[in-house]
Structures are given as structure tokens and as C-alpha cells.
Chain A
Amino acid sequence: MTNLDFLVNYVDSDVDYETTAADYISMDLTNDYLIWTAGSATVTDLMASEPSSSDLNEAATQIDPDVATTVAYCYLMDYSHDVGGAYYTHLVKGMGLNKRYVFCCSFDGATASEPQLEAWDDSSHSTTDNEVLGAGTPTNSMVKAVCTTSGLPGSSWTGTAIAGNGAGRYIELNNGNGALAALASGETSQELYFNAKIVIPAAHATPASETFVFTVRYTWS
């Protein structure tokens, strides 16, 4: 069996995990979570307490009537605040930018096929009806993702609108190169990377406060 660990880069999104593991926080997936926000004086990097729902509402992204809006920040809510002092939030560095090492999936062995990233309404993985996922039209998903395992995403990257696991609505995390091979001698893990952003269309008619679920699908023999 192969295990998956999920990490985010909170220092320098130009360096990979293998080279500089200290730049990454391994998410405690039971307690930690990602906050997608416009930010505010309260909801910011290095918060000394967990933001409240009211804090998050006040820092919500505003829909622009004329141009599409990219959600400005993604913070890791680090419940155990175990890096950098007693801080609960850490800015995910490079989110949405032309950066390669932002979100990281670390595998401790080989896979039987290529891992892929999906987005769903909830943990049942049965629907993509949230506004943020296109309200039932996956091609309209506001969640854009791009595999950066093999290189930079490029300036002004558009990515793939991900929602569900229908054809073309997820991303392959090994850049289409198939399964992960066995670990090289002396290695304990191998990493795949992606970047992601949320782009709200201009004048989107249905404001919403929603959660959606990022899911990694992977295999072993």
C-alpha cells in the first residue's frame, strides 16, 4: 500500500520539498483546512487565533460587475500551530501565480496508475452542484487547477476547471506521465505538485459561501 501526505508551501514556492522540506507544512487533514479569502486586517497571515465565521464573512471576496475576480489569498488554517510560533494561519505561497511548488502531494511508494486531483461538493463525491463548482455544469467551475510537477504553469495560466471526475474535469498530477515508479534507493517519498486558484466570473449572479472538497484519487497494487 502507498500512503499520501498533503503539504503546502508557506515559505518559498520556487523550491521543492525534496530540496527544502522545511518550507512545507504537512497538513493535519483532520483539523487543518484551507481558507480562500480576499483577506482583511483580521483574516491575514500569522493569526494568533482561529478566524471566526464572522471574520471570514467580512473578508469574503467581492464579485466584480465587470471583470472576473481571482480570490486573492489561500491560507492554511494550522490548527496545531506547530510551525513558526503560535500562529494559526499561514499564507500558501504562490497560489494562483506562476509558481511551481505550491500544493504538494507526497507519496511514500509507487502507484499503480496516475494520481489525479478532483473537486466535489462534499465528501460523498456524488455531486458538483455548488456555485463554485459550476452549479452542475463542471466546465463552469471556478476552481482552476494546473499540474506543476514537470514545470511552471506559465504566466497568466488559466488551468483546468475542475469539478467531479468526468473527462477533462480533473487534473493528472504526474503531468500525464502515468503511474509513480518505485522509490529510488534511499528515498522515502516522491512528490507531485499543483497550483490552484478560484476565479469568480464577472457579475456572477449567485453569491455564495460554500465549502468544496479537494480529493486526490490514487491507486496501488
Chain B
Amino acid sequence: MSDKLELQNHALFSAHFEDGSIFVSGNSYDDTKWLQLPHKQIKKIYYALPNGDHLCLEGYEKYFHMLEATKDLNGPRAGMRRIEYAYIMGKRGNIVVSYRITLFHKKNDKYKVGDIVKREFHIHDKFVKGLNPSNWR
């Protein structure tokens, strides 16, 4: 499944700020424009799912988004990037809530495209500490 097909040519997300303004993302995983989000309090984010529905995160202090890809260094898919997951996260107090959205179905994997896994991490968890601190909004 291609990136564009997954997004169906629609914006990846829209961020609604406390001041009433709205930021609309790019419509490609290659150009999400996440880092162009202004540093002001986000009220809620609508995040597009592969089936066209949206996931809404609201009421967090900070938000984080990332796409996870793999690139094989050899073999039949060598050099081809494969986007496997999108993450949209919210931080409230000492807890980060992560929604992981599957974008590629791997053989024998129980998670299909569009499946969402919700997990909670303490801010001192290695997963959270390894995130780029500049990418929180």
C-alpha cells in the first residue's frame, strides 16, 4: 500500500489551538509539517486513519508525532523504505499516552493496517526519554 493511498490525499492531521486557530498538516508522510506546528497550546488533534476515520486526542499538555519506517540493507526489498507505524502521543503530567497505528501488515502479525495500540508510558520510561525533545508541541 502506498503512502498516498493510505492518506487518500487528505491532510494527515489538523491541530486546533486554544486560541481558536487551526493548523492543517501536509497530506504526505514525507511532508507531515509537524515540525512547522507553532509552539502554542494545542487543544485537540484530529489524526487521519488509513480507513478515512480520525482519531482525536484532546486535553494533553504536549503532543508528539512520528512515523516509523524500516529500510533493508540487503535482500529483495533492499533500499526501499517501508513505513510500518504512525504514532500520535499526548503528555499529561508524568504520563505519555501513545496511540500506535499500524500502516503495514507484516506476515504473521496480528495487527492489520489501521489497528491502533494504546499504551501508557511514564515520562522517565526509556521509550519516552529516547524521543526527540524538540519534536513535542
Contact = CB atoms under 8 A, between A and B. Distances in A.
* B partners with A: yes
Interface of A: 1, 4, 6, 27-30, 33-34, 110-114, 118, 122-127, 178-182, 211, 213-221
Contact of B74 (A29, A113, A118): A29
A221 B34 contact: yes
B75 A126 contact: no
A192 B50 CA distance: 32
Given A1-B30, A112-B66, A221-B34, A6 B134 contact: no
Interface string B93-108: 0000000000000111
Given A29-B80, A33-B78, 5 more contacts: A6-B71, A27-B73, A112-B131, A125-B70, A220-B66
Nearest to A121: B75
Contacts of B81: 4
A214 B79 contact: no
Interface residues of B, number: 35
Given A30-B79, A126-B107, A110 B134 contact: yes
A221 B135 contact: yes
Contacts of B91: none
B59 to A, nearest CB: 21
Nearest to A211: B75
Contacts of A126: 106-109
Contacts of B135: 110, 112, 179, 221
B23 interface: no
Given A216-B71, A218-B71, A29 B79 contact: yes
Contacts of A29: 71-74, 78-80
B70 A216 contact: yes
21 contacts: A4-B71, A27-B73, A34-B73, A34-B74, A114-B130, A122-B75, A122-B76, A124-B107, A125-B106, A126-B106, A126-B107, A179-B131, A180-B132, A211-B74, A213-B73, A213-B74, A217-B69, A218-B70, A219-B66, A221-B35, A221-B132
Contact of A214 (B72, B129, B131): B72
Interface string B22-57: 000000011110110000000000000000000000
Nearest to A216: B71
A181 B72 CA distance: 23
Contact of B73 (A1, A180, A181, A214): A214
Given A124-B107, A126-B109, A218-B69, A112 B30 contact: no
Contacts of A30: 78-79
Q: Which has the most chain A C-beta neighbours within 10 Å: B74, B106, B131?
A: B74
B119 interface: no
Contacts of B127: 113
B68 A181 contact: no
Contacts of A211: 74-75
A178 B130 contact: yes
A123 B132 contact: no
